[in-house]
């Protein structure tokens, strides 16, 4: 045998050890590729066309995940230049801007992706609510999702302090002061967060560790759980007209499993062509290429938009943080400005009572609204009341945030944004 | 396989478009990095360098590339200015365009870039690598843009903490103005402790002033004297009434008794003559001519009471222990005539009010006045018994050069809201910025206000390492004891003269080595009958009316204590040397400034009697290095050899005729 051919064979065997299936050309191979890859098996091999429809999911969950990925990658790159001590932290920002190759684009992308992620996660939550996707069997995944939403806010909040400029110092001052309004625990909570009574080097280190180690680790874990539940329960869909028993019978060994597990049965019986033999899969399509292709396009679109935004708009950086110089008004990060607006009316009611009730309501939503009706469609008439209540609450939250952001000036007095 | 929702074609199209867009954007990211401003500028510099330098110099020049920075570790400061300012330390680029121009002057020799970087002196954002971000002009969120024009001298003062910084004229003027205006009376200003204005004590002022004058003065001091040192406190009529009552009620020490004086015998004409003989105008201004050490007397008649003036001229230290004014040896008759002259002829334009206001007897009004006195911090300049421990009423100016200013404070003003502008406005119109300010209105000219701003901007918040700071030691106050000390105090020698760096500045000659400069017999004579050594100078030593005994005491002390041993060499008259000296004297043209034998110029001292006045060692030393003995002197340094200086000294010591001497 010529050496070239042997080499080709050897290379092929190396390739096969990594990509067991190779480039799939049949549906069976496609399914096998999905299952045998660590990264792809997060998907089911086949998906409902319903869940591919952009108008149903709006791709918000996927976007949130991508943004999280972008943040981890850019965040790790930024960590190479960042020193978490007060003066050096600010110097790091200047170095990123003026000296580090691609430094400013990196920082911009991290900053803007973080803001967009807060919005994406919030909208994802709204989407899930309005399509009733938190109903049985997905109640707990909603709870995990609420946890992830809060985690996203906290991740963004801890990252806000790290540039150590006036903007970050005072936003965190306002934010941590709001935490101190909680009865009994408030002051301890603030002390725990700040590592003292005022923001200082200890706070910066704490926020750095939270932002770069603890919270991302928790977030990765919770994202895993979140995806695992999605993978187990499938994407929500309108109730099928056909009853379930046939399905259970046919799927044999896994009667209780959802349809994605039909694939296991399928691999057990490789001789049977998928399309014809599995009636359950009749209206499903292969994840490869239908789902993966769409995911790739969404990823590309996101990267293009993020790059353009990061090239055009620089992340803000004000003067070096000066604890003796309070700006007026001192504002929290924008996603807490609704809360700050409430606090302005009443510290306890706005800063403690309302947020606690809202978070509790969110956590209990799937258990309070447990009737399995109106799942899988936007604004199902059966769920008119639930949607109204949620819609009004979400609108109020957005409205308060907008007011806090654009309509509040010196001494938190009302200003029209176009007069400033 | 059925295809949901989107057809594959449309997906392919989307993928293609997005893929191309992504590649394009990614390329954009790279190009943006590659086309960074500083890279373009460095390329320009390389082209310029090839034109400016010859091939040999070019081959020796270090290669230009990459970001350059100077890291000042002790200040934790990074300056990357030299990334673009590449010719800054290379004289070949003296006439090159910016940013490549070589640094003008010799500044880089005294302030090496390795040790000082750029922004230490210039300000701006040294970390930046673009023109805009480097804060060549004002940029948001960077507190200190490059200090343009004279403002740069504020940065000199950050390290150079002494009052006088020779090469920073505006800074020095500003600091002197701050000291002169007495800012430190109300504000805590680093480097200005002890620079408070010594205004008259007011515990006995009720005996001194005419009530009508008090009202005029308090309403606006410059109405009485255009050059008044006291600023306008913008007092309300109620405050003026109260303060007036309070001041006129202050009668701690009664004036010396003048009831035996027959004022009818007073002769103002003799008083006027005496006023001239005593050289009062050395310190006092009258009708625009005279010194500024004492108050302007142009309108003193409307200000003070006759009895007080009599007492004051007899013993100025009676109610003003710190008075600058000396105690003359006048007879009562002389004083009477002087007072008559001052109170009848120096009326000024303000007519004294005929009917004195006697409201000062109301105790409530006096109490209100005392409150106003404290509220406006009058005790800061006018030291007052019982108020020694009250705090300065103005805010501390520690770190004022880093004071943040809010644009809101400039409401209605059309100036750029910067700290220099804020300070300038505050100095010119204290009420212009904030609703109510207790700061009085000084009659600063624009120039005065501007230099004060430069002086203030030099006071920064951050503490510098000691190795970066230069200061001048504060002179110890000179307080001689014994008979000499009593005379120095009586005649207030230190109001004009300096000893050991402490004392007045009116006389340009310190007394520290006067005993080695002047002969004792001359001193004795001069103290009793002072004349002008340099006739062109307005300020002259007053005629004290000193006794011969006193003059001897002073001269003896000075001749034995105020000496510099290096000046006291042996001297033997030598006719040969005298002749050589005379030839040299004529050859150098000394006569164009000095009078000898009745002929010569009026710029320098009359040398006609220098043999009776000066000591030879001093003449020799002086001629060898005039600038070293007296910085800023007009005397040229001829670069004389030691023998030549000795010959000149021999010649000058031979001049004892006094023919040209204009002893006045």
Average pLDDT over residues B322-347: 88
ipTM: 0.82
CA nearest to B642, candidates B618, B620, B619, B664 = B620
Q: Do B22 and A303 touch (CB under 8 A)?
A: yes
Q: Looking at the domain assignment, is residue A394 inside a domain?
A: no
List all residues 6 or more positions away from A89 whose beta carbon is below 8 Å from its beta carbon. A82, A83, A162, A163, A164, A204
Q: Looking at the domain assignment, is residue A84 inside a domain?
A: yes
Write the pLDDT tens digit of every residue in B400-455: 998 888 887 887 778 888 899 999 999 988 887 765 788 999 889 999 999 999 99
Angle at A248 between CA A247 and CA A249, to 5 degrees: 90
pLDDT value of position B505: 81
Beta strand B70-72 pairing with A46-47? unpaired
Q: Which range scores top for mean pLDDT: A43-47, A157-161, B211-215, B298-302?
A: A157-161
pLDDT value of position B456: 95
Q: Looking at the domain assignment, is residue A405 inside a domain?
A: no
Q: How confident is the model at residue B658 (pLDDT cuts 50, 70, 90)?
A: low
* Architecture of the domain delimited by B161-194+396-472: Sandwich (2.60)
Q: For residue A249, give how far its alpha carbon lies from the nearest alpha carbon of chain B (Å).
A: 25
CA-CA distances (angstroms) from residue B598 to B499, B604, B634?
Answer: 34, 14, 21
Q: Of the given ranges (B1-10, B72-81, B338-347, B381-390), which has the lowest mean pLDDT?
A: B1-10
pLDDT value of position A241: 58
Residue A98 contacts B, CB cutoff 8 Å: yes
Average pLDDT over residues B581-600: 87
Question: Could you count the other beta carbons within 10 Å of the beta carbon of residue B649?
Answer: 26
- A contacts of B396 (beta carbons < 8 Å): none
Q: Three-state SS string across B109-143, please?
A: HHCCHHHHCCHHHHCCCCCCCCCCCCCCCCCCCCC
- A contacts of B141 (beta carbons < 8 Å): 165-166, 317-319
**Position B66 pLDDT exceeds 60:** yes
CB distance A250 to A198 below 8 Å? no
Residue A88: domain span: 31-236+284-329
**Position B636 pLDDT exceeds 90:** no
Average pLDDT over residues B204-217: 89
Average pLDDT over residues B364-385: 91
Q: How many independent structural domains does chain A possess?
A: 1
Q: Do B11 and A297 touch (CB under 8 A)?
A: yes
**Equal CATH topology for B161-194+396-472 and B205-380:** no
Q: Looking at the domain assignment, is residue A343 inside a domain?
A: no
* Closest CB from A87, A301, A308 relative to B18: A301
Residue with tokens 């490059």: B146
Q: Do A54 and B5 touch (CB under 8 A)?
A: yes
**Position B5 pLDDT exceeds 60:** no
Interface test mutation site (partner A, options B5, B29, B419, max chain A beta carbons within 10 A): B5
B140 to chain A: closest CA residue = A318
Q: For residue B434, give how far its alpha carbon lies from the nearest alpha carbon of chain A (Å).
A: 17
Interface test mutation site (partner A, options B127, B132, B461, max chain A beta carbons within 10 A): B127
Domain boundaries, chain B: 37-146, 161-194+396-472, 205-380, 482-567, 575-653
- Would you call B10 helix, strand, or coil by DSSP? helix
**Position B602 pLDDT exceeds 90:** no
Q: State the Cα–Cα distance between residues B518 and B653, nearest whole angstrom.
A: 12
Give me the total of CB pairs closer than 8 Å, taking one residue from chain A and one from chain B: 83
Q: For residue B114, give how far its alpha carbon lies from the nearest alpha carbon of chain A (Å).
A: 20
Interface test mutation site (partner B, options A98, A278, A296, A322, max chain B beta carbons within 10 A): A98
pLDDT value of position B4: 47
CB distance B103 to B111 below 8 Å? no
CA-CA distances (angstroms) from residue B542 to B286, B523, B526?
Answer: 16, 15, 11
Residue A246 contacts B, CB cutoff 8 Å: no
For chain A, first and last CA: distance in Å?
81
Question: Could you count the other beta carbons within 10 Å of the beta carbon of residue B287?
Answer: 12
CA nearest to B45, candidates B103, B108, B96, B114 = B96
B28 to chain A: closest CA residue = A311
Share of chain B above pLDDT 90, in %: 37
- A25 DSSP 8-state letter: -
Mean residue pLDDT across chain B:
87
Write the pLDDT tens digit of every residue in B517-549: 999 999 998 998 887 777 667 777 888 888 999
Q: For residue B104, give how far its alpha carbon lies from the nearest alpha carbon of chain A (Å).
A: 28
> Using beta carbons and an 8 Å cutoff, which residues of B are at the interface with A?
1-6, 11, 14-15, 18-19, 21-22, 25-26, 28-29, 32-33, 67, 76, 78, 80, 125, 127-130, 133, 141-143, 404, 408
* pLDDT by 10s per residue, chain A, length 420: 678 999 999 999 999 888 888 888 888 888 888 888 888 888 888 888 888 888 888 999 999 999 999 999 999 999 999 999 999 999 999 999 999 999 999 999 999 999 999 999 999 999 999 999 898 889 999 999 999 999 999 999 999 999 999 999 999 999 888 888 888 888 898 999 999 988 999 999 999 999 999 999 999 999 999 999 988 888 887 776 554 444 444 444 443 444 444 444 444 444 444 444 445 556 788 888 888 999 999 999 999 999 999 999 999 999 999 888 888 888 999 999 999 999 888 888 888 899 999 999 999 999 998 888 888 888 888 888 899 999 999 999 999 999 999 999 888 889 888 875
CB distance B244 to B360 below 8 Å? yes
- B contacts of A50 (beta carbons < 8 Å): 4
Q: Which fold has domain B575-653?
A: Cytochrome Bc1 Complex; Chain D, domain 2 (1.10.760)
Average pLDDT over residues B283-295: 87
Q: Looking at the domain assignment, is residue A296 inside a domain?
A: yes
**Position B345 pLDDT exceeds 70:** yes
Residue A244 contacts B, CB cutoff 8 Å: no
* Closest CB from B1, B32, B78 relative to A311: B32
Residue A235 contacts B, CB cutoff 8 Å: no
pLDDT value of position A54: 84
**Position B501 pLDDT exceeds 90:** no
- A contacts of B22 (beta carbons < 8 Å): 300, 303-304, 307
Q: Looking at the domain assignment, is residue A370 inside a domain?
A: no
- Would you call B431 helix, strand, or coil by DSSP? coil
Q: Looking at the domain assignment, is residue A226 inside a domain?
A: yes
A289 to chain B: closest CA residue = B8
Q: Looking at the domain assignment, is residue A145 inside a domain?
A: yes
Question: Could you count the other beta carbons within 10 Å of the beta carbon of residue B455?
Answer: 30
Higher-confidence residue: B361 or B313?
Answer: B313
Residue A26 contacts B, CB cutoff 8 Å: no
Considering only the C-alpha atoms of chain B, give the largest distance between any 2 of them, rounded to a whole number of Å: 135
Which CATH number applies to B482-567? 1.10.760.10
Question: What are the φ/ψ torsions at residue A271 (nearest 5 degrees)?
Answer: -70, -25
Q: Do B130 and A301 touch (CB under 8 A)?
A: no
* CATH code: domain of residue A303: 1.20.810.10
Q: State the Cα–Cα distance between residues B26 and A307, nearest whole angstrom.
A: 8
Which CATH number applies to B205-380? 1.10.760.10
Q: State the Cα–Cα distance between residues B218 and B214, nearest whole angstrom.
A: 6
């Amino acid at each position: 045998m010529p050496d070239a051919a042997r080499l080709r064979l050897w290379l092929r065997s190396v390739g096969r050890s990594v990509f067991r299936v190779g480039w799939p050309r049949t549906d069976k191979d496609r399914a096998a590729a999905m299952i045998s890859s660590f990264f792809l098996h997060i998907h089911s091999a086949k998906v409902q066309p319903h869940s591919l429809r952009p108008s149903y999911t709006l791709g918000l969950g996927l976007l949130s995940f991508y943004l999280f990925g972008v943040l981890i990658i850019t965040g790790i790159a930024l960590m190479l230049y960042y020193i978490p001590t007060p003066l050096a932290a600010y110097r790091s920002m200047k170095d990123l801007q003026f000296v580090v190759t691609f430094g400013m684009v990196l920082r911009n992308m991290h900053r803007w992706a973080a803001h967009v992620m807060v919005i994406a996660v919030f909208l994802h939550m709204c989407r899930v609510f309005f399509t009733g996707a938190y109903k049985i069997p997905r109640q707990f995944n909603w709870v995990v999702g609420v946890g992830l939403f809060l985690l996203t806010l906290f991740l963004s909040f801890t990252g806000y302090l790290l540039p150590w400029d006036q903007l970050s110092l005072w936003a965190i001052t306002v934010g941590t002061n709001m935490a101190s309004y909680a009865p009994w625990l408030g002051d301890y909570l603030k002390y725990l967060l700040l590592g003292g009574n005022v923001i200082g080097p200890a706070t910066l280190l704490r926020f750095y560790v939270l932002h770069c180690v603890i919270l991302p680790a928790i977030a990765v874990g919770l994202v895993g759980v979140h995806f695992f539940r999605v993978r187990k329960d499938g994407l929500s869909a309108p109730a099928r007209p056909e009853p379930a028993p046939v399905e259970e019978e046919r799927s044999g060994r896994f009667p209780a499993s959802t349809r994605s597990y039909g694939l296991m049965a399928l691999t057990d019986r490789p001789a049977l062509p998928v399309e014809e033999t599995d009636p359950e899969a009749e209206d499903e399509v292969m994840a490869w290429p239908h789902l993966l292709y769409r995911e790739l396009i969404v990823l590309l679109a996101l990267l293009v938009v993020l790059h353009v935004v990061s090239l055009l708009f620089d992340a803000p950086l004000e003067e070096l943080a000066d604890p003796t110089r309070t700006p007026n008004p001192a504002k929290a990060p924008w996603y807490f400005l609704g809360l700050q607006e409430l606090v302005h009316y009443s510290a306890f009611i706005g800063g403690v009572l309302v947020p606690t009730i809202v978070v509790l309501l969110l956590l209990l939503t799937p258990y309070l609204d447990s009737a399995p009706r109106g799942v899988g469609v936007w604004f199902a008439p059966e769920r008119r009341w639930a949607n109204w209540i949620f819609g009004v609450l979400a609108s109020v939250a957005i409205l308060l945030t907008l007011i806090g952001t654009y309509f509040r000036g010196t001494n938190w007095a009302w200003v029209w944004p176009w007069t400033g | 396989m059925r295809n949901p929702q989107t057809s594959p074609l449309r997906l392919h199209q989307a993928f293609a478009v997005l893929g191309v867009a992504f590649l394009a954007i990614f390329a954009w990211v790279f190009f943006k990095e590659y086309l960074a401003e500083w890279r373009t500028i460095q390329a320009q510099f390389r082209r310029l360098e090839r034109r400016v330098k010859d091939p040999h110099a070019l081959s020796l020049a270090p290669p230009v590339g990459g970001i350059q920075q100077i890291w000042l570790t002790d200040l934790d400061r990074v300056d990357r200015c030299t990334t673009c300012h590449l010719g800054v330390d290379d004289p070949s680029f003296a006439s090159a365009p910016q940013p490549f121009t070589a640094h003008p002057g010799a500044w880089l020799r005294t302030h090496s870039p390795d040790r000082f970087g750029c922004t230490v002196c210039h300000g701006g954002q040294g970390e930046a690598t673009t023109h805009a971000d480097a804060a060549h002009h004002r940029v948001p969120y960077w507190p200190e843009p490059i200090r343009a024009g004279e403002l740069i001298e504020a940065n000199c003062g950050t390290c150079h903490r002494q009052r006088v910084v020779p090469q920073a004229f505006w800074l020095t003027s500003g600091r002197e103005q701050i000291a002169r205006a007495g800012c430190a009376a109300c504000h805590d200003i680093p480097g200005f402790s002890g620079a408070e204005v010594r205004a008259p004590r007011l515990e006995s002022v009720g005996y001194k002033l005419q009530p009508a004058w008090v009202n005029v003065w308090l309403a606006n001091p410059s109405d009485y004297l255009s050059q008044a040192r006291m600023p306008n406190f913008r007092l309300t009529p109620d405050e003026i009434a109260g303060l007036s009552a309070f001041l006129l009620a202050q009668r701690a020490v009664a004036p010396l008794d003048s009831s035996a004086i027959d004022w009818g015998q007073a002769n103002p004409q003799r008083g006027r003559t005496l006023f001239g003989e005593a050289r009062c105008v050395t310190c006092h201004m009258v009708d625009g001519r005279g010194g500024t050490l004492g108050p302007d007397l142009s309108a003193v008649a409307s200000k003070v009471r006759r009895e007080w003036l009599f007492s004051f001229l007899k013993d100025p230290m009676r109610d003003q222990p710190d008075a600058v004014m000396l105690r003359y040896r006048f007879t009562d008759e002389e004083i009477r005539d002087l007072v008559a002259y001052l109170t009848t002829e120096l009326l000024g334009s303000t007519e004294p009010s005929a009917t004195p206001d006697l409201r000062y007897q109301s105790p409530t009004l006096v109490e209100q006045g005392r409150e106003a006195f404290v509220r406006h911090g009058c005790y800061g300049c006018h030291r007052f018994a019982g108020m020694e421990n009250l705090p300065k009423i103005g805010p501390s100016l520690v770190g004022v050069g880093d004071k943040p200013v809010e644009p809101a404070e400039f409401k209605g003003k059309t100036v750029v809201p910067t700290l220099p502008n804020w300070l300038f406005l505050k100095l010119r119109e204290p009420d212009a910025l904030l609703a109510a300010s207790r700061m009085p209105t000084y009659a600063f000219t624009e120039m005065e206000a501007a230099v004060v701003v430069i002086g203030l901007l030099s006071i920064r918040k951050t503490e510098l390492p000691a190795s970066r700071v230069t200061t001048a030691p504060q002179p110890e106050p000179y307080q001689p004891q014994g008979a000499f000390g009593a005379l120095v105090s009586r005649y207030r020698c230190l109001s004009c003269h300096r000893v050991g760096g402490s004392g007045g500045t009116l006389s340009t000659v310190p007394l520290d080595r006067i005993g080695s400069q002047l002969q004792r017999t001359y001193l004795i004579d001069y103290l009793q009958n002072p004349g002008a050594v340099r006739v062109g100078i307005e300020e002259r030593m007053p005629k004290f009316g000193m006794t011969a005994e006193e003059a001897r005491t002073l001269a003896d002390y000075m001749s034995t204590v105020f000496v510099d041993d290096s000046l006291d060499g042996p001297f033997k008259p030598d006719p040969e040397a005298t002749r050589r000296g005379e030839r040299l004297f004529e050859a150098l043209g000394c006569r164009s400034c000095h009078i000898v034998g009745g002929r010569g110029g009026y710029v320098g001292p009359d040398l006609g009697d220098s043999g009776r006045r000066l000591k030879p060692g001093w003449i020799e030393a002086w001629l060898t290095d005039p600038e070293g003995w007296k910085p800023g002197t007009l005397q040229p340094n001829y670069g004389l050899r030691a023998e030549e200086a000795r010959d000149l000294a021999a010649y000058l010591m031979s001049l004892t005729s006094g023919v040209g001497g204009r002893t006045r």
